[in-house]
Amino acid sequence: MKESFIGVGYEMSVHSSLINLLDTHGSDQVVDGVSKIFFTLLVSLASLSFGVHIGTALLPVIQKMQTPSVAVQHTISVASVMMYLATFPTFFLLSPSFRHQATAALLFSFPGTLTRYALSVSLNPRWKLLPFGTLVANELGTALLALFHVLLGLRPAVSPGACSILQGLGDGYCGCLTTVSTFAAELSALTGGKRWLYGTISFVVGQVLVVLILGSTLWTGTASAQMSCRPRM
């Protein structure tokens, strides 16, 4: 695959490399994809370890801090909601020249975060073997990202407005729905066979979803490997 869709993200480039088995340099693409996966995971685990050390050093100070009052908590919640609502006029009033790269992603970021939170809270406690909520969030985000990738490469191309929205959904919704940091933290917290089981399921299911959704459309020519639509400028 010569280039990835602008803004679809690093995660999709990893999957795209791994499904490119029919190209002349397919083996190189697979090595590239596996290297990206291990590099991302190692950086995440290193960041987690660094954060643990910082947190341990600051623990005496943190323990002395008081829990914010109910009024402060409500104020922060209201301010957060207001900031999200401000993304709507930002999307429609600011220049369309960067709408597909910034404001569209902001528009869908909060729903993606809320979806991941709801899945984690509702599903993680129900299955003690693995953090099922995070697993579902990551696999759902991967499937949607592959679907948006396909829609951006359809022939004939989708409209410029739809192109901007699809990029915003990929960067904003899927970017906040999926999580490498939480996955790394949970992977580190698990012990023995559970750690290997969680990592293997996450990797294998993700690749299968991308092959079924994205790989099948590329191999049959239904969609282009390159972006066929133009965002509204």
| Angle, CA 105 vertex, CA 181 and CA 233 arms, to 5° | 145
Residue 62 belongs to a domain: yes
| pLDDT > 70: percent of the chain | 85
The answer to whether 190 and 134 have CB atoms below 8 angstroms apart is no
Give the per-residue pLDDT at 7: 35
| Residues facing residue 154 across a β-bridge | 223
- Least confident segment among 3-17, 161-175, 179-193: 3-17
Rounded to whole angstroms, how far apart are CA atoms 55 and 168? 34
Range of the domain at 90: 10-220
Residue 230 belongs to a domain: no
Closest C-alpha among 195, 175, 173 to residue 185:
195
Residue 69 belongs to a domain: yes
Residue 162 belongs to a domain: yes
Can you give the pTM of this predicted structure? Answer: 0.81
Per-residue pLDDT of 12-60, as tens digits, reads 555 555 555 444 445 556 677 677 777 888 888 888 899 889 989 998 8
Residue 208 belongs to a domain: yes
Rounded to whole angstroms, how far apart are CA atoms 157 and 159? 7
Number of compact structural domains in the chain = 1
Residue 63 belongs to a domain: yes
The answer to whether 198 and 187 have CB atoms below 8 angstroms apart is yes
Estimate the crossing angle of helix 10-19 against helix 193-210, to 10 degrees.
80
Burial class for 172, CB neighbours closer than 10 Å (0-12, 13-18, 19+)? buried
Residue 227 belongs to a domain: no
Residues 6+ apart with CB under 8 A from 185: 48
Q: Which residue has better confidence, 29 or 124? A: 124
Closest C-alpha among 93, 134, 85 to residue 110:
85
Residue 228 belongs to a domain: no
